[in-house]
Amino acid sequence: MPIRIIGLVLICAGTWIFAQGWSRKDSLLGSMSETGTRIANKFDGGSRTPKHMLYLAGGGLLIASGAVVAFSGRRSS
C-alpha cells in the first residue's frame, strides 16, 4: 500500500510541474523565451530549449512513472 501512495505523490507532483510549464508556455514571458531561443539557435547553431519545455517534459515523465508505480506491481489478496 505505501508504494501506491508514492506513485500518487509522483502523479500529483508531475501534474503540478506540467501545469507550471503549460502556464509559462502560454504567458508573455514564455513566448519571449521561445523567440529568444530561436534567434540564439539560428545565430550560433546551438540547441537550446526554453525552460517551460523542460517543465512539460519533466512533469510528463513524473506522471508516467507515478502511474507505473501506483497501478502496477503485485496485488495483495
Provide the percentage of residues in the chain whose pLDDT is more than 70.
Answer: 92
- Residue 50 within any structural domain of the chain: yes
Which of 51, 55, 20 is CA-nearest to residue 36? 51
Task: Supply the pLDDT for residue 1.
Answer: 67
Identify the residue with better confidence: 35 or 68.
Answer: 68
Burial 18-38 (b: 16+ CB within 10 A, else e): beebeebbeeeebeebeeebe
* Residue 41 resides in a domain: yes
* Contact between residue 64 and residue 19 where contact means Cβ atoms under 8 Å apart: no
Q: What is the pTM of this model?
A: 0.77
Report if residue 76 sits inside a domain.
no
Grade residue 14 by pLDDT with cuts at 50, 70 and 90.
Answer: very high
- Decide if pLDDT at 75 tops 80: no
pLDDT band of 30, cuts 50, 70, 90? confident
Number of domains forming the structure of the chain: 1
